[in-house]
Amino acid sequence: MPTGLYIGGQWRAAAKTMPVLDPSTGQELCAVADAGPGDGLAALTAAADAQAAWARTPARERSEILMRAHRLLIEDADRLGLIATLEMGKPLAEARGEITYAAEFFRWFAEEAVRLDGGYMPAPGGGSRFLVTRQPVGPSLLITPWNFPMAMGTRKIGPALAAGCTCVVKPAEQTPLCTLALADILERAGVPAGVVNVVTTSDPGALMTPMILDERSRKLSFTGSTAVGKKLLEQCAQTVMRTSMELGGNAPFIVFDDADLDAAVDGAMAAKMRNIGQACTAANRIYVQRTVLDDFAERLTKRMAALPLGRGTEPGVVVGPLIDTDAVAKVTDLVADARTRGAKVLLGGETLDGPGNFYPATVLVDVPDDADMCRTEIFGPVAAITGFDTEDEVVDRANDTPYGLVSYVYTESLRRGLRVCEALDTGMVGLNQGVVSNPAAPFGGVKESGLGREGGLTGIDEFLETKYIGVQL
């Protein structure tokens, strides 16, 4: 298991190390390199030096390397899933699912690498011709969060490599092991030295700021919180650097009274409990039309009560630990705040004794709109249910947030479903489905949830510049 920095195709130590903790025990799993600013600039130099040759590498060759990486990830899914569970806490079955999902980004972008298009057209005024071609944007900085430690990496590395960009990847401090394992896999798949570099650190600002301000960096692709994303956008403004931002969410999950309630409960379980509630796509505010509110809440509570809690490596566990003690404290405070504002607890709601960062599956009903948990990401296994009466009312309440990543709508009426999907201010909507993540679809948000899209037909565009060549005949 690599634990060093991966720079220019070599594994190397840093001056310091930092611990990686198991969130289900609080104990140290191992130590990894803790990079400083000099290491970051060395990684950027390696990426910049490798850029021209990688851009010239035929697209078919880049594609085949990504295909091999896809296969290696799939073949190694058990081991990689275990690494994800150990450092992040999610149950093993979910962790293996994440590895498969992560691998799909490589396959999708391997297929996209060979399909870049261009154009040739006469100028409207006659005489000259327009040639339009697309070129890699250049060395890219990729910053990923801890909640999907493998998939958030491949979702950026896949399109970067397919487009012909080299990169420096900085994973989250809490989950560096998946990205280090991925670097090893990419090397075995044939990625040349310097094309992918990985730096791990406990001081991301000190490491990344000099790299972001360095004019050799041409792109920043960030997934994480809106607060950090805003800071990074300010830094990127210094060099007018291209950016992609996948930021926080506050997803409304809307159940109309004509919905198939069994399907709606299934969808709510998936949208709420994926990743122990720690997903940017998590159902944060569950709005249920009042005529079916009690029925829905009772069914959801029964399902949530049946979820086994424990260490993610134990068979059958669904509710693993949260990432750290701060996450438990945040969820505890949000539940206490909702209760003082009148929410009723149908399940859970008590903090558990350690060891490990566990919080029980919890269901609250009658959560008022001014509760803190309706305004911020809960990021835990807490379902916050509230009633509504009319379509206009629920659309207004759902849109009353600075975030706009995803929303979910359950109704059997096609007209109402499409009307509400169009009216919701989010980049994605699940209509009668509780999971929207798919490498072949354009993932991303509007408002303070982000800029740009990852995956889908447009995902590769984030790493390409369009060049127009005027030709005088």
Choose, by CB under 6 A, the member of 205, 308, 316, 368 that binds ligand NAP.
205
Q: Which residues pair with 20 in a beta bridge?
A: 30
Question: Which one, 70 or 170, has the nearer CB to ligand NAP?
Answer: 170
Choose, by CB under 6 A, the member of 139, 159, 249, 349 that binds ligand NAP.
249
Q: Does 247 bind ligand NAP (CB under 6 A)?
A: yes
The answer to whether residues 348 and 363 touch, using CB atoms and an 8 Å cutoff, is yes
Choose, by CB under 6 A, the member of 145, 149, 320, 356 that binds ligand NAP.
145
| Least distance (Å) between residue 293 CB and ligand NAP | 27
Q: Does 136 bind ligand NAP (CB under 6 A)?
A: no
Segment interacting with ligand NAP (CB under 6 A) among 51-59, 226-234, 352-360, 428-436: 226-234
Segment interacting with ligand NAP (CB under 6 A) among 125-133, 186-194, 245-253, 340-348: 245-253
Q: Does 338 bind ligand NAP (CB under 6 A)?
A: no
Q: Does 173 bind ligand NAP (CB under 6 A)?
A: yes
Residue type, 374: C
Buried/exposed 413-422: b ≥16 CB within 10 Å, e otherwise: eeeebeebbe
- Name the 3-class secondary structure at 446: strand
DSSP 372-436: GGGTS---SSEEEEEEE--HHHHHHHHH-SSEESEEEEE-S-HHHHHHHHHHS-SSEEEES-S--
Region class of 326: left (phi > 0), else alpha (psi between -120 and 50), else beta:
alpha
The answer to whether residues 25 and 355 touch, using CB atoms and an 8 Å cutoff, is yes
Q: Does 228 bind ligand NAP (CB under 6 A)?
A: yes
Q: Does 248 bind ligand NAP (CB under 6 A)?
A: yes
Choose, by CB under 6 A, the member of 39, 94, 187, 246 that binds ligand NAP.
246
Q: CA geometry: angle at 281 spanning 242 and 371, to 5°?
A: 110
Choose, by CB under 6 A, the member of 25, 225, 332, 399 that binds ligand NAP.
225
| Least distance (Å) between residue 152 CB and ligand NAP | 6
Buried/exposed 374-409: b ≥16 CB within 10 Å, e otherwise: bbebbbbbbbbbbbbeebeebbebbbebebbbbbbb
- Name the 3-class secondary structure at 291: helix
Positions annotated as catalytic residues are: 246, 280
The answer to whether residues 197 and 182 touch, using CB atoms and an 8 Å cutoff, is no
Q: Does 223 bind ligand NAP (CB under 6 A)?
A: yes
Task: Give the count of beta carbons closer than 10 Å to the beta carbon of residue 222.
Answer: 27
Q: Does 381 bind ligand NAP (CB under 6 A)?
A: no
Question: Which one, 167 or 293, has the nearer CB to ligand NAP?
Answer: 167
Segment interacting with ligand NAP (CB under 6 A) among 106-114, 147-155, 260-268, 410-418: 147-155
- Calculate the alpha carbon distances from 105 to 33, 100, 158, 341, 355 in Å: 27, 9, 6, 43, 36
- From CA 110, how far away is CA 138, in angstroms rounded? 18
Q: Does 377 bind ligand NAP (CB under 6 A)?
A: yes
- Name the 3-class secondary structure at 170: strand
- Name the 3-class secondary structure at 146: coil
By CB under 6 A, the residues from 262 to 301 that bind ligand NAP are: 280
Segment interacting with ligand NAP (CB under 6 A) among 219-227, 304-312, 351-359, 393-401: 219-227
Choose, by CB under 6 A, the member of 136, 204, 321, 349 that binds ligand NAP.
204
Q: Does 159 bind ligand NAP (CB under 6 A)?
A: no
Segment interacting with ligand NAP (CB under 6 A) among 70-78, 137-145, 260-268, 362-370: 137-145
**Applying CB under 6 A, which residues contact ligand NAP?**
143-148, 152, 170, 172-174, 204-205, 208, 223-225, 228, 231-232, 246-249, 280, 377, 405, 445, 450
